[in-house]
Structure 1
Amino acid sequence: MDLEVRHLRALCAIADTGSLHRAARQLGVAQPSLSTQLKRIEQELGGALFLRERTGCRPTRLGRVVLGRARPLVAEMHALVTEARAAAMDDDGPQLRIGSTASRALAGWLRRLRARKREPLLQMDVSANSLLRMLADGRLDVAFVHEVEGSPLRVPDGLRLRVLVEREPQFVSLPADHPAAVHPVVRLSELAGDRWMVDPTVDGEWDAVHRMLRGAGISPRVLHGDYHTAASLVATGEVVTVCQPTCQPRPEMAVRRIHGDPLGVRLLLAARTEAELDSVYPELSQAYQEVARQAPGYREWLEEAGV
């Protein structure tokens, strides 16, 4: 096995994150695949590069030697790719690499950018921290991310942030025939007997939902799964789940405010320069306002809040 730049990049990711799980997410690969790759690299080099401890991975003496040579090579390759992409943009027209967590504002944002002749390339990820890391590494130009209340994002040095919404209240989606759905505002106590579905891969989401439910004095049954699956299960009456206030109700699914607004997120736009923020923020703000007005419950909330 001959070592390639991708192998060196994997070693750097493991060292930087201190965890095979976090490194796999950063690299966009499955953890078992990264573990297998690491074992092959160690076999090729003749020794262990990391100590696997309960708290994570720590470089061995051999690992530190290898990392000392690997980092400059990875940095050089990163610079080469960045310069090549810049040259390609000059030849083929400007392309904007956008990273984003899920949002109904995305479609309107992309449409507005295309109208300005900025062709967007979109990278979706449930992990805001992963998108910020990609932005810092030069793999994205801007990132639109959600910061869950109580779980601050790990913002790499050198990034610029602009707040789109300081605190967006999170609503709840529940079956349309649920007894609590007859009210425009739902108390968590009315949902104590329901199963809740939470996506644990969303940074900070499970901790925040757990705090919210515990604060209400309830301990419901919780299922883990992505929010696309959750929407289907809500529609069939299996679960309830938190959702963004811009979420549109459907005949089989109601979207309601939670009494007291116990859960919120901050919406952020990130880039490496203020100029890049300036170039895309107005379109994002317009797109968000558009979907906010289209969501009846959220529109009423905004009017009551005087926003």
Structure 2
Amino acid sequence: MELEVRHLRVLCAIEDTGSLHKAARALGMSQPSLTTQLRRIETWLGGRLFTRGRTGCRPTPLGHVLLARARPLVDGMRALVDETRAAAAATAEPEDRLRIGSTASRALPGWLRRLRAGVAERGGAEPTLRMDVSSHALLRQVADGRLDVAFVHEVEGSPLRMPPGLVCRVLVEREPQFVSLAADHPAARRRVVRLADLARDRWMVDPTVDGEWDGLLRALRAAGIAPRILHGDYLTAASLVATGEVVTLCQPTSRPRPDMAVRPLDGDPVGVRLLLAARTEAALDAVHDELRAAYREAARQAPAYRRRLGEP
């Protein structure tokens, strides 16, 4: 076995995410495959590179030595690939095409609709959209020139690592996170739900969403609750919430369904800051007003959030 750039990329991903599961998701591979590859690398090098525990993976002293040399090589290769892709995109796409990145949001449909309407008036190219659960991944793509602007969220208590050269604008300083639960859940009869009302429930959280697991865990522990946690994506969570298997955090712009209720949490224990990031203020100016209008529209269409904001 010879140590290659792809192996170094694996090690850097594990350090960046602090988790084998998150690193596997980021690399597009299964966790067992990643674990096997890490063991082979450690065997070949003759020592452990990471310690594994309940709090995740942390580099050992040997791991720190290797990563200090590996990261410049990985970053250099990434820059080479990104520059080549950017050059190819410049020749393949219209120069005025707006490349948007975003984490999940109910404001997206209205935002894209408004941007397309503006493009139609000017006769330009329609914007493109790239979705990602990771705010950090989207910010890196803006910094690398693969996206023009990114709409991301920052969980309270888990600040984002902002790449150099980016400018940001706050869309919402603190968006309280609500809870979704089965329509026949006893707590659904309340206008506002206390965490204590959910002490016996299982929670589902997507561990690949930056900061969300930590934010939820802090809130539950502060309420004196030792949570039972299931990990999964939020498409899976919706079906399990509807059947009463789990409860989950949700954005306040989420809309209820006949089998699912959306309620504020008493005291708003989990908050999120919504940000727009770009390389220039001009790029932010080009999309900010449309996104703000789309967010307000989404808020008005969500009954629980509309009441929370005191709107008729």
What is the letter of the counterpart of residue 91 of structure 2? Answer: A
CA distance in 1, matches of 2:72, 2:161: 24
8 Å contact from structure 1 (residues 100, 124) kept in 2: yes
Residues 26 and 107 of structure 1: CA distance in aligned 2, closer, same or farther (over 3 Å): same
Q: 1:285 aligns to what SS in structure 2? A: helix
1:27-38 paired onto structure 2 within 5 Å = 27-30=27-30
Residues 142 and 26 of structure 1: CA distance in aligned 2, closer, same or farther (over 3 Å): farther
CA distance in 1, matches of 2:73, 2:191: 60
- The structure 1 residue matched to 2:93, chosen from 89, 92, 104, is 89
Residues 226 and 123 of structure 1: CA distance in aligned 2, closer, same or farther (over 3 Å): same
What is the letter of the counterpart of residue 275 of structure 2? Answer: L
1:189 aligns with 2:204: no
What is the letter of the counterpart of residue 260 of structure 2? Answer: M
What is the letter of the counterpart of residue 185 of structure 2? Answer: H
Q: Which residue of 2 aligns with 1:112?
A: 114
Q: Which residue of 2 aligns with 1:300?
A: 307
Residues 267 and 69 of structure 1: CA distance in aligned 2, closer, same or farther (over 3 Å): closer
8 Å contact from structure 1 (residues 129, 153) kept in 2: yes
What is the letter of the counterpart of residue 82 of structure 1? Answer: A
CA shift, 1:260, in A, is 1.0
Q: Which residue of 1 aligns with 2:50?
A: 53
Residues 69 and 258 of structure 1: CA distance in aligned 2, closer, same or farther (over 3 Å): closer
Can you give the 5+ residue segments of structure 1 that lack an aligned partner in the other structure? none
CA distance in 2, matches of 1:105, 1:215: 31
CA distance in 1, matches of 2:165, 2:97: 22
Larger deviation, residues 128-137 vs 162-171: 128-137
**CA RMSD across the alignment:** 3.2
Q: Which residue of 2 aligns with 1:102?
A: 104
CA distance in 2, matches of 1:89, 1:114: 17
8 Å contact from structure 2 (residues 25, 208) kept in 1: no
Larger deviation, residues 26-35 vs 193-202: 26-35
8 Å contact from structure 2 (residues 13, 26) kept in 1: no
CA distance in 1, matches of 2:111, 2:47: 43
Can you give the 5+ residue segments of structure 2 that lack an aligned partner in the other structure? 52-57, 120-124
1:220-259 paired onto structure 2 within 5 Å = 220-259=227-266
- The structure 2 residue matched to 1:131, chosen from 135, 138, 146, is 138
CA shift, 1:52, in A, is 2.1
8 Å contact from structure 1 (residues 12, 71) kept in 2: no
CA shift, 1:209, in A, is 0.9
CA distance in 1, matches of 2:151, 2:254: 17
CA distance in 1, matches of 2:197, 2:88: 57
Taking structure 1 as the reference length, the TM-score comes to 0.82
What is the letter of the counterpart of residue 129 of structure 1? Answer: H
CA shift, 1:53, in A, is 3.2
Residues 239 and 23 of structure 1: CA distance in aligned 2, closer, same or farther (over 3 Å): closer
Q: How many residues align?
A: 293
Residues 175 and 95 of structure 1: CA distance in aligned 2, closer, same or farther (over 3 Å): same
What is the letter of the counterpart of residue 172 of structure 1? Answer: V
CA distance in 1, matches of 2:208, 2:79: 29
8 Å contact from structure 1 (residues 51, 58) kept in 2: no
Residues 145 and 50 of structure 1: CA distance in aligned 2, closer, same or farther (over 3 Å): farther
CA distance in 2, matches of 1:192, 1:26: 32
8 Å contact from structure 1 (residues 143, 271) kept in 2: yes
Residues 185 and 38 of structure 1: CA distance in aligned 2, closer, same or farther (over 3 Å): closer
Q: Which residue of 1 aligns with 2:55?
A: none
Residues 96 and 10 of structure 1: CA distance in aligned 2, closer, same or farther (over 3 Å): farther
CA shift, 1:163, in A, is 0.5
